[in-house]
Amino acid sequence: MIGPAIAGMLIASVGTGWAFLINGASYIAVLCALGLLRVEALHRGRKAAGGRGAWRKALAMYRSAPI
C-alpha cells in the first residue's frame, strides 16, 4: 500500500520518466546487496527423508496438527 502511494506522489511531482528511473535505481541497490552476500557462510539444510510411506506420514502429521 505504501509503494503505490509513493509512486503516485513521485509521478505527480517529477513525472513518469523520473519515477521509472528512481524505481530502476532501487533495483540496483538490491542487486548490490545480493552481490555483497557471503555465499560460503550459507548453510544447507538436511534433505527431508523420503521413501516409502512419506506421503502418508506427511498427511497424518497434517491431520494431527491443531487448527
Q: What tens-digit pLDDT sequence spans the chain (67 residues)?
A: 898 999 999 999 999 999 999 889 989 999 999 999 998 888 888 877 777 788 888 888 889 988 7
Task: Please indicate, yes or no, if residue 65 is contained in any of the structural domains.
Answer: no
Q: Please state the domain count of the chain.
A: 1
Task: Please indicate, yes or no, if residue 21 is contained in any of the structural domains.
Answer: yes
Task: Please indicate, yes or no, if residue 22 is contained in any of the structural domains.
Answer: yes
Cα Rg of the chain, angstroms: 23
Task: Please indicate, yes or no, if residue 51 is contained in any of the structural domains.
Answer: no
Angle between helices 16-35 and 2-14 (to 10 degrees): 130
Its pTM stands at: 0.48
Task: Please indicate, yes or no, if residue 53 is contained in any of the structural domains.
Answer: no
Task: Please indicate, yes or no, if residue 43 is contained in any of the structural domains.
Answer: no
One-character DSSP codes across 1-67:
-HHHHHHHHHHHHH-HHHHHHHHHHHHHHHHHHHHT--GGG--PPPPPP-STTHHHHHHHHHHHS--
Q: 22 lies in which domain range?
A: 1-36
CB 31 within 8 A of CB 40: no
